[in-house]
Amino acid sequence: MACTTVPPRPAINIHEAKTHLSRLVEQVAKGEPFVIAKAGKPMFKVMALNAPEAGQVQRPGFTAGHSTVPDDFDRMGSAEIERFLGDGA
């Protein structure tokens, strides 16, 4: 099965953006940014505020609330480590 990619949408002129603003806002909310052009020249990129820029990596904390860390996390395995390392000499 061949992998296909969706080509980027061409820039939208200002009149079209004004006419279809509600639809375009829904598109952005789904993670699909768009570009507004003036006289055929791309001027603005419209994207969701929380959307990462191209090439950005998701920041730590994106799993907050989805997992827990035990209270004894820093001590877990300390007996095994001590047996392995001995007295450190």
Counted domains in the chain? 1
Query: Does residue 2 lie within any of the structural domains?
Result: no
pLDDT digits (tens, 9 = 90+) for 4-54: 555 567 899 999 999 999 999 999 988 889 999 999 999 999 988 876 666
Containing structural domain, residue 39: 9-48
| CATH number assigned to the domain comprising residue 28 | 3.40.1620.10
Mean pLDDT lowest for which of 30-34, 64-68, 69-73? 64-68
Query: Does residue 69 lie within any of the structural domains?
Result: no
Q: In terms of C-beta density within 10 A (0-12 exposed, 13-18 middle, 19 or more buried), how is residue 37 classed?
A: middle
Look at residues 30, 38, 31 and name the one whose alpha carbon lies nearest to residue 11: 38
Query: Does residue 73 lie within any of the structural domains?
Result: no
Contact of 35 with 11, CB cutoff 8 Å: yes
Query: Does residue 74 lie within any of the structural domains?
Result: no
Query: Does residue 19 lie within any of the structural domains?
Result: yes
pLDDT for res 67: 81
**pTM score, two decimals?**
0.49
